Structure 1
Amino acid sequence: MKRKFKIKGKKIIITIREFLTRLNWLYISIIIMIVIGIGILAASYLVNDNDAKNVCVGLGTGIVTSALVSLYIDAINKKVEKNKLFQYKNMLLNPLYNAIKSLYIHISININEYRVREEISGYLLLPMEKTEDLSNFLNELMSYKLEDMVEEKQKKLVNMLCISEIYYRELISQFRGLPLDSLLYENLISHEDYKKLKNFSLINLCMGNLTKISEDGVSEQDEYVLKIQLLHGMMLQMNRILEVFPDMASKIDSENSWIKNNLAEIYYNEIYTNSEEYFEEMMEKMEAEQKYYAEHPDEWENEAEEETEEDRLYRKINKAIWAGNAETIKKCFPEINKDNKQIQSELTWSLAKNVMKDKELRSMYFEKYGEKYKMRKDKRKGLKRKCGLH
């Protein structure tokens, strides 16, 4: 019982001490001065002698006024000091933020483009409250054997891990050079954040991986594993930094909007337009349009007049693909604008497979786009994700 009482007593003393350290004694003294001044002013009403009353009123007014002026000056000084600290903090953190931003954009684009093309749901973007999904995803990739993978799968993973060492080294250098003691002393970070950032285990592991990757004689499989570990470690480290600095996290979060737009465009052009769902949607749309315009021929004529030349060309090529008419497409080819990705997408669609077997048409495609003809792979609705192993 005595021991429990002592422990409770110590906790109470610690709580009182913490409360006293947080108190602003200047404000307390100013409040006391204002109360005294108001008390003197109130007392002046009880004094009958005019001279004594004037003295009380002057004294009370002076005390209250001086206390308010002190309060105002202190508020201005605090604001000036806060601005100085904010500028100092930005000066220290801007190089680190720029290094995080450069590396993060490369990693997030590579990882999420791979996930989109492999039809894995959900984006992996920082900042994260929980990192289990990221860890599970990268640990699964790390378990793959390169020699057992098909060539296309290998190429996708190599492209995903293709990030210059410069970005890694710059972030490591900026983080190691961060004056954490100064940030703590200036109350720019808490003791808890200080301990979190002072843990260099992840950074040291990443630096070790960078050194091993650069060594001679590293096998392709070992290099693959080291690069995934490096990417994983740096993502976790960046997320840890963003947890400590919310301003930095909000800036990174604003970068995610255009990254998501880019990923959505890849999904639409490479996945959705080759899906069974899209095929059925287009069929239903065409049937509905034919039925509608058959009932409203006047509207068809009006809409045809409003169409641009590119719209007419696209419609003509689309119709020729459905009809399997290669000759019509050949006649249209000189008019095609090579920057029109919509028409190129139609020509590489699986439905265009039969017409694009024509050698002359393939030759025209090569001359127009400067690359060999390659049909996009069909993606079926509800198709389960595959890892690419034999």
Structure 2
Amino acid sequence: MKRKFKIKGKKIIITIREFLTRLNWLYISIIIMIVIGIGILAASYLVNDNDAKNVCVGLGTGIVTSALVSLYIDAINKKVEKNKLFQYKNMLLNPLYNAIKSLYIHISININEYRVREEISGYLLLPMEKTEDLSNFLNELMSYKLEDMVEEKQKKLVNMLCISEIYYRELISQFRGLPLDSLLYENLISHEDYKKLKNFSLINLCMGNLTKISEDGVSEQDEYVLKIQLLHGMMLQMNRILEVFPDMASKIDSENSWIKNNLAEIYYNEIYTNSEEYFEEMMEKMEAEQKYYAEHPDEWENEAEEETEEDRLYRKINKAIWAGNAETIKKCFPEINKDNKQIQSELTWSLARNVMKDKELRSMYFEKYGEKYKMRKDKRKGLKRKCGLH
């Protein structure tokens, strides 16, 4: 009970302090006027003379009304001033937000697509309360030697770091042009936030890396390390900015929803559908369906009637893959919808290796999907993540 009382007491004291800090001479004078007006109104009840009483009532009412009108006008003026400051803040911060958004989307998609394809759990998205996971991940990548990597792994990392310098330079330019002193003077940021943003160490490091990357004679390994440092530094700097400006952070957070959906789609189409887990699940499903329809042949006929053309085509191609019948797949190819990722996934499955050795079939695949045929690797359930080094 004593503890609860102490907590309530502290809250009351904090509330009183906040109220006192907001007080100014205008509010004090208004309060005094209201007290005087109420006092005159109360005193009017003690006056017997009607004329004097009317004078007291009129005077008291006038004083209270004037005080309330003054308070109302002050509230309106403050609201107008607040709106002006809000517009001023938006005018200053919108270019910075646009620069952050453009760079963040490129970085977050590249980093997390790499993590999904390498089957590393968890997304790295801003804003972050703690940045240890980001730092550990990028520091691990920075320790890799390009010459020791397999070509496929090296290509993935190069693609991850393939972000135009324009986005980096635009963000650096917008941040350096931010009038921090003006924001502090207008009470749009606190002294603590001001000190945090005034620290240009990360920005200077990133700018230095950009300069080094553009220089001649930089080795491939050094460029790789510089780009990771650049990406790391800019992610930390963006996170620092988002900590200071919550409105900006909420906007960035709203971008994360479609990024997550995109990553989930990549995981399903490229990882899960090529995993042993998926294979076992499909086999169990097929066996269960065969057993069920063997016991209920009437339902199989009804199911067949409701089946769409695309479903029949998929089933036909699937059977042809299992049977190793390339000719059947060739006949089906003109009917395939190129947007049907399920059929494309079946064709790039390891089980389709034999049928897809057919050159004509590979040519048809290229014409249909606009890309060279490449068999996806099976991802074995329970295997540990590999870094791709020899």
TM bin (shorter chain): over 0.9
Could you give the per-residue CA deviations for residues 282-315 of structure 1, whole angstroms, max 9, x where no partner exists? 0111112222222332322222222221121011
After TM superposition, the score normalised by the length of structure 1 is: 0.93
Could you give the per-residue CA deviations for residues 177-231 of structure 1, whole angstroms, max 9, x where no partner exists? 0011111111111111111111111101100100010111111111111100100
Higher mean C-alpha deviation, range 53-62 or range 120-129 = 53-62
Structure 1 residues 47 and 9, CA gap change in structure 2 (3 angstroms): closer
Which residue is 1:338 aligned to? 338
Give the Å deviation of 1:16: 12
Structure 1 residues 12 and 296, CA gap change in structure 2 (3 angstroms): closer
Structure 1 residues 2 and 296, CA gap change in structure 2 (3 angstroms): closer
After TM superposition, the score normalised by the length of structure 2 is: 0.93
Give the Å deviation of 1:374: 1.3
Structure 1 residues 259 and 11, CA gap change in structure 2 (3 angstroms): closer
Structure 1 residues 11 and 280, CA gap change in structure 2 (3 angstroms): closer
CA distance in 2, matches of 1:253, 1:11: 32
Which residue is 2:162 aligned to? 162
Structure 1 residues 13 and 359, CA gap change in structure 2 (3 angstroms): closer
Higher mean C-alpha deviation, range 221-230 or range 347-356 = 347-356
Could you give the per-residue CA deviations for residues 329-359 of structure 1, whole angstroms, max 9, x where no partner exists? 2221222222322211110011212222333
Could you give the per-residue CA deviations for residues 226-284 of structure 1, whole angstroms, max 9, x where no partner exists? 10010000000000000000000000000000000000001001111111111111011
SS at match of 2:120: coil
Structure 1 residues 157 and 361, CA gap change in structure 2 (3 angstroms): same
CA distance in 1, matches of 2:24, 2:186: 17
Give the Å deviation of 1:20: 6.1
Give the Å deviation of 1:362: 2.6
Unmatched 5+ residue regions in structure 1?
none
Structure 1 residues 32 and 350, CA gap change in structure 2 (3 angstroms): same
Give the Å deviation of 1:18: 9.7
CA distance in 1, matches of 2:140, 2:105: 22
Which residue is 2:229 aligned to? 229
Structure 1 residues 376 and 12, CA gap change in structure 2 (3 angstroms): closer
CA distance in 2, matches of 1:292, 1:2: 68
Structure 1 residues 119 and 13, CA gap change in structure 2 (3 angstroms): closer
Give the Å deviation of 1:142: 0.6
CA distance in 1, matches of 2:15, 2:344: 71
Structure 1 residues 7 and 367, CA gap change in structure 2 (3 angstroms): closer
Give the Å deviation of 1:15: 14
Structure 1 residues 12 and 48, CA gap change in structure 2 (3 angstroms): closer
Give the Å deviation of 1:8: 24
Structure 1 residues 280 and 16, CA gap change in structure 2 (3 angstroms): closer
Contact 2:269–2:341 under 8 Å retained in 1:
no
Q: CA RMSD in A?
A: 4.7
Contact 2:206–2:229 under 8 Å retained in 1:
yes
Could you give the per-residue CA deviations for residues 351-380 of structure 1, whole angstroms, max 9, x where no partner exists? 212222333433332343343321101101
Structure 1 residues 16 and 252, CA gap change in structure 2 (3 angstroms): closer
Structure 1 residues 127 and 9, CA gap change in structure 2 (3 angstroms): closer
Which residue is 1:385 aligned to? 385
SS at match of 1:305: helix
Could you give the per-residue CA deviations for residues 116-140 of structure 1, whole angstroms, max 9, x where no partner exists? 0111100000000010100111111
CA distance in 1, matches of 2:314, 2:3: 86
Give the Å deviation of 1:36: 1.5
Give the Å deviation of 1:387: 1.1
Q: Percent identity?
A: 100
Count, aligned residues: 390
Give the Å deviation of 1:5: 28
SS at match of 1:158: helix
CA distance in 1, matches of 2:214, 2:245: 32
Higher mean C-alpha deviation, range 323-332 or range 37-46 = 323-332
Give the Å deviation of 1:40: 1.1
CA distance in 2, matches of 1:130, 1:36: 56
Structure 1 residues 382 and 10, CA gap change in structure 2 (3 angstroms): closer
